[in-house]
Amino acid sequence: MADMNRQWLLASRPQGMVTESNFQYHEAPVPELEDGQFLVRNCYIAFEPAMRGWMDDRPSYIPPIQLGEVMRAVTTGQVVASKHPDYQPGDCVQGGFGWQEYAVTTGKGGLMPASKIPAGASLTAPLGVLGITGLTAYFGLLDLGQPKGGETCVVSGAAGATGSIAGQIARIKGCRVIGIAGGPDKCAWLTDAARFDAAIDYKSEDVAARLRELCPDGIHIFFDNVGGEILDAVLAQIAMKARIVLCGGISRYNDEELQPGPKNYFNLILQRARMEGFILVDYYRRFAEGVQELSGWLDSGQLIHQEDIQDGFANAPRTFLRLFEGKNLGKQLLKIADVR
Ligand SMILES: NC(=O)c1ccc[n+]([C@@H]2O[C@H](COP(=O)([O-])OP(=O)(O)OC[C@H]3O[C@@H](n4cnc5c(N)ncnc54)[C@H](OP(=O)(O)O)[C@@H]3O)[C@@H](O)[C@H]2O)c1
C-alpha cells in the first residue's frame, strides 16, 4: 500500500464550459485510521453530468463542492485496512469515495453511504446499470413515464448511460421506442444492439421532421436527458395525456446564462399533458426493488448495457469532459486500479 494519496481537487468554478484547468492534481499522505474507519483503494470512478452542477456555487439538491475539496463521485474499490467491525481487508465496496486513489471513511454520510459488493461480482455494474444510472432510468421511466403497451416513447441522450436503459425498459414494457443521439455510430448502436425501433441523429438530421415521420400518432412518453431545442421539438408533437419525464438537461449544464424556456410548452395545456422532474435520491428506499428487476432483465437478455471504460488516474478530468463532448457510449467510467 502506498503512503501517498493522489487526488483531483476542484481548483476553480467553471465559467461556461468546464475545462481541465478547473481541476488540480494533488498529493497528500494517506491518513492513519481511527477506530470505526476503514481505508478503501478505489478501482473504478463513475462520472455523472450532474457533477458539473455540483461545481457551481449555487443551491441544489446537494451542497456545492467547495474549492480545494476532492471531486465528489461514486466509486468502487477494495478495503485495504480496517478499524471498522463490519469491513475487512479484501472486501469490495462502493460508496461516495471521490476522485482519489485512497479514501478513509466510516462508511456513513457523504454522497452515498458505503455498501459491500459480493465477492466475485462486477465492480462496474454497481456504478452503471445496477447503480445510479439504471435506477434513474427505472424509476423515472416507470413511475413518471407510466408506459403502456403500444405507446410511442422518445428518449433523448439515448446512447448515453441513462437514456439507453430508459429506452430499453420502455421497449420491455411494450412501447415503440425512438432514440435521439449524436452521430451515426450511436444511432446504429441504438437500433442494432439496444433494439430501439428507430434513432434520430440530432447532429445531422432535422429532429422535428424525423419525429413527424416516425410518430404519426404523437409522442406518448418523452424521457428527456437533454432539454433545450430537442425538448421543444418534442413538445410540439406530444399526444393527448403525454408524460414528459425531466431527467436531465445536459444541453444547458455549461451555459453561462440561462436560455429562455421551451416555446412549445403551451401544448401541455392543449394535450392535457404532464411534464415532471425527479431526482433519484427520493427513491432511495426502493433501490433494492429496482436492482432486482434490472438484474432479472439483464440475466434474461432483455436488457443490455454498455460501459465506456477509460484508463489511468491522471485521466480523470479528461474522462469527465467526454460526457460533454459526446465521446462516451454508455456509462462513463475510469479504471484506476485492479482488484487484488
Ligand atoms: N434526475 C436524476 O436523478 C438524474 C440522475 C442521473 C442522471 N441524470 C441526468 O441524466 C442525463 C444523462 O446522464 P448520464 O450519466 O446517463 O450521461 P450520458 O447520457 O451517458 O452522457 C452524456 C451524453 O449527453 C449528450 N450530450 C452532451 N452534451 C450535449 C448537448 N449539448 N446536447 C445534446 N446532447 C448532449 C452526449 O451524447 P450525444 O453524443 O448523443 O450528444 C453524451 O454522451 C443527464 O442529463 C444527467 O444529469 C439525472
What would the pLDDT profile of 149-180 be if each residue is shown by its tens digit?
Answer: 999 999 999 999 999 999 999 999 999 999 99
| Poorest-pLDDT segment among 24-33, 96-105, 109-118 | 109-118
pLDDT band at 278 (very low <50, low <70, confident <90, very high): very high
136 CB within 6 A, ligand 1: yes
Is 132-281 in the same CATH topology as 4-128+306-335?
Answer: no
Residue range 107-132: average pLDDT?
Answer: 94
CATH level 3 topology of 4-128+306-335 = Quinone Oxidoreductase; Chain A, domain 1 (3.90.180)
Q: 142 exposed, middle or buried (CB, 10 Å; 0-12, 13-18, 19+)? A: middle
Structural domain spans, the chain: 4-128+306-335, 132-281
Largest CA distance in the chain: 64
User: What is the tens place of the pLDDT at every residue in 224-267?
Assistant: 999 999 999 999 999 999 999 999 999 999 999 988 999 999 99
Per residue in 217-244, is it b (16+ CB within 10 Å) or e — as a string?
Answer: ebbbbbbbbbbbebbbbbbebbbeebbb
305 CB within 6 A, ligand 1: no
pLDDT band at 328 (very low <50, low <70, confident <90, very high): very high
Residue range 188-201: average pLDDT?
Answer: 98
Do 47 and 332 meet the contact criterion of CB atoms below 8 Å apart? yes
What's the CA angle centered on 283, arms 115 and 179, to 5 degrees?
Answer: 105
Ligand 1 atom at minimal distance to the Cα of residue 252: 31
By alpha-carbon position, which residue is closest to atom 30 of ligand 1? Answer: 251
Residue range 198-206: average pLDDT?
Answer: 98
Expressed in angstroms and rounded, the spacing between residue 160 Cα and the centre of ligand 1 is 6
Rounded Cα–Cα distance for residues 115 and 117 (Å): 7
48 CB within 6 A, ligand 1: yes
**Confidence (pLDDT) at 1:** 63
Give the start-end residues of each E strand in the chain: 4-10, 23-29, 38-46, 75-82, 92-95, 102-105, 115-117, 152-156, 176-181, 198-201, 219-224, 238-246, 274-277, 307-311, 331-335
User: What is the tens place of the pLDDT at every residue in 1-59?
Assistant: 678 999 999 999 999 999 999 999 999 999 899 999 999 999 999 999 999 999 999 98
132-281 placed in CATH 3.40.50.720: yes
By alpha-carbon position, which residue is closest to atom 2 of ligand 1? Answer: 279
**In sequence order, what are the residues at sequence separation of 6 or more whose Cβ sits closer than 8 angstroms to the Cβ of residue 38?**
79, 81, 82, 83, 84, 87, 104, 105, 107
DSSP assigned state of 40? E
DSSP assigned state of 147? -
